[in-house]
Structure 1
Amino acid sequence: MAPSVSQLQTTPAPVEAVTKGVAKVALNAQQEKEDVPSYPFYYPIWDLEEKFPPTEIFEHSDPGLRADPAKPHLLNANTKVHHISPYLGTEVEGVQISQLSKEGLDELALYVAERKVVVFRDQDFKDIGPDRQIAIARHFGPIQRHPTSGNVKGYPEFHVVYRDAKHDPIRDYLGDGRINFTSWHSDVSYERQPPSTTFFFILDQPETGGDTLFLSQVEAYNRLSPEFQKRLEGLRAVHSAVPQAEYSLKRGGPVRREPVESEHPIVRVHPVTGEKALFINPGFTKRVVGFKNEESEYLLKFLFDHIAKGADFHVRGTYKPGTVVAWDNRVTVHSATPDFAKTFRRHAVRLTPQAEVPIPA
């Protein structure tokens, strides 16, 4: 979803520099007094003049297909692993993403496909500089450049998530007429080739709160009866970027390329694991192709309720300094939890590699 655009074409952080590839800028006494982000280089901007061409179809081979199933470069004697749930979610310590070889990154793709969400602790990823961060993410596919959200000057690959006392993008986007702010979505699923292995790294985080909810669309599909699964297979749904673009325009923000709508299978197959998964989300899935309005609304409401209420195939991703979360956008949906006081800052960055055209079941 698009963050607030209340400060368009501006980077209010007093220091904007990269020294030897390290994006963190030491804060002096004046900066601390002004309460600026720890990593002002990544403060979001919204440039109304920035425009992107339409995204072209590309060939994609998932790096997980090349991986050694034993994962010797990723999981070794120094690696500590804790599974959060049987269906998805694993915490990993003792390995640095920044130091992985190409083989190790292939294994990371496979592991994230298998576990859906992997939380890497104590990472130096935020300090290795934007060029290296982007190079690592590009191992998994071309990086999606968001058409409306805040990004980094000169680096449109970064999708910046930012909230502080003056910026409350989730409430701005969803409005105040809700009793909760859970908003399940799969990032930019309207793309013709939606994302796969996605990276999200924390720069500033409140002491408590600000977690991310994730759920497994594989397990959500598995819970359905065989007859209902058969009925869903072959159906397609429209995923739309139009409401997101309209919201940005309403707020005076950018629309960097024309909003797209794509038809995707309601049940897709993962190219590496072969697992079937639902591929619907309330954020972007608008209607079922070939159904009349009432039929489409009824089916989508059932599926949205099903995934939202399945707490036994949900997990809560928590953040600590140095946390990097990698998730497979093809087989999960997630939601922010803006449950922390507005006086706290939450600042994070997403890199979103795109993958194959969804494979129907």
Structure 2
Amino acid sequence: MSSTETTTITENKATSDEAGGSTFSLSLNGSPGQPTPEERGQGPFKSYPYTELLPKVYPKPNEIGEPLKDFVHVDPGMRALSHTDPRSFLKNATKIENFCPTIGTEVEGVNLVKLTPDERDELALEVARRRVMVFRGQHDFFEAGGEFWKEFGSHFGRLHVHPTGGHPEGLPEIHMIYRDENTVYYDTENITRGMWHTDMSHERQPPGLTAFFLFAHPESGGDTFFTSGVEALKRLSPGFVEYLKTLRQIQSAVDPIQVTRNGTRTRNIRRPCVTTIHPLVRRHPVTGEESLFLNPEATKVIVGYKKQESDLILNFLYDHIAGGLEGQMRVKWAPKTVVLWDNRVTMHSALFDFAGSPERRHGARITPQAERPIPALEGLQLD
């Protein structure tokens, strides 16, 4: 679900990703305007019902768009605070079960497609409070298709378009991932491909409530882990937390775009590289909770610190997050499951333990942007 998990299916040869591992890709692009063998029902995608939702590149040579412009975000969860019962959207649920006290709730019997605008507001508030919500049995959601997915996501914020990733034709706002036995990253330089991160955090206004769902997944493996940045912060000493609130970080998407430009991955570059200053600890605009907010994929350095000093602090926090079992949960994927989480107060990591399996892992992410991160320390300057 991150920039490194994104696959645009391109050339039929071995290449290297930015982490140094080898990746093998199937050709799906073909000549412009011409159907590929797979689109004609041949090859490894014969009888696959979601061929039209594979992530492809629609190149526009020498056409780089403008950087994203700032916008005013009003979180829908704020409206739900004034509702008589902010959890009334769960009234017909047949199952509501928390994964653990600090993060995650699994729900059955609630149809996301049929939620009213007020109930969507309540959903946003509940996701903010529980960090992650897993909705099972969402047949209508899967059948509704791209235009509904865009409309649903737009309720929670301006839809983000990935700066480089592939997408289905006509749906740039729906970010697709794809993995199979030929495209799982075989990373030879690291012990694990797992990496805690938060999506597109380098943007000036990173995502808030985010939806992800899989059209195909391995019978075993390919789970997604989530961890609470709120809980991680609470576990630290009060004095250390106050110190962390004074720190700012530089986040950047330069590296993935440079990799693309160098030809390692043939993907469309839609807009210029972005480098942003964010607080290391942010405050949620609705719940008021404070959370660690950093990203090994995008955080480059702590502002004002030398690299070794910055690395010492950041690596401690990364290890703390990875080892904080009290704030972690694991989603095992099942058919017609939709997972919603708040990117502002969580991190996640996909598990690529199905490498070598012939099974696919193919899914879609709807990524509404939220406000610019609010520093936990009042008056902390970001610009």
By the TM > 0.5 criterion, same fold?
yes
- Whole-angstrom distance in 1 between the partners of 2:344 and 2:28: 32
> Out of 38, 54, 57, which is 1:46 matched to?
57
Tell me the equivalent position of 1:20: none
Tell me the equivalent position of 1:21: none
> Out of 195, 200, 203, which is 1:191 matched to?
203
Post-superposition shift, 1:47?
2.3
Tell me the equivalent position of 1:301: 315
Tell me the equivalent position of 1:87: 102
Checking the alignment, whether the CA contact within 8 Å between 2:202 and 2:276 is kept in structure 1 is yes
- Whole-angstrom distance in 2 between the partners of 1:8 and 1:358: 38
- Whole-angstrom distance in 1 between the partners of 2:78 and 2:287: 9
Query: Alpha carbons of 1:37 and 1:237: their partners in 2 closer, same or farther (altered >3 Å)?
Result: farther
Aligned CA RMSD, in angstroms, stands at 1.9
Partner of 2:211, secondary structure, is strand
- Whole-angstrom distance in 1 between the partners of 2:112 and 2:338: 9
Query: Alpha carbons of 1:342 and 1:256: their partners in 2 closer, same or farther (altered >3 Å)?
Result: farther
Q: Please, which moves more after superposition, 146-155 or 136-145?
A: 146-155
Checking the alignment, whether the CA contact within 8 Å between 2:93 and 2:107 is kept in structure 1 is no
- Whole-angstrom distance in 2 between the partners of 1:104 and 1:349: 23
Equivalent residues in 2 for 1:1-361, closer than 5 Å? 1=3, 2-4=6-8, 5-6=10-11, 7=27, 9-10=29-30, 12=36, 14-15=38-39, 34-35=45-46, 37-49=48-60, 51-67=64-80, 68=83, 70-123=85-138, 124-168=140-184, 170-171=185-186, 175-250=187-262, 251=264, 252-340=266-354, 341-361=356-376
Post-superposition shift, 1:265?
0.4
Unaligned runs of 5+ in 2: 12-26, 377-383
What do the CA deviations read for 1:73-104 (whole angstroms, capped 9, x no partner)?
41104342010011111101000111100011
- Whole-angstrom distance in 2 between the partners of 1:162 and 1:36: 17
TM-score, length of structure 2 as denominator length: 0.85
Query: Alpha carbons of 1:312 and 1:294: their partners in 2 closer, same or farther (altered >3 Å)?
Result: same
Question: What percent of counterpart residues are identical?
Answer: 44
- Whole-angstrom distance in 2 between the partners of 1:95 and 1:159: 24
TM-score, length of structure 1 as denominator length: 0.90
| Structure 1 residue identity aligned to 2:350 | A
Unaligned runs of 5+ in 1: 17-29
Tell me the equivalent position of 1:22: none
- Whole-angstrom distance in 2 between the partners of 1:98 and 1:164: 29
Checking the alignment, whether the CA contact within 8 Å between 2:174 and 2:366 is kept in structure 1 is yes
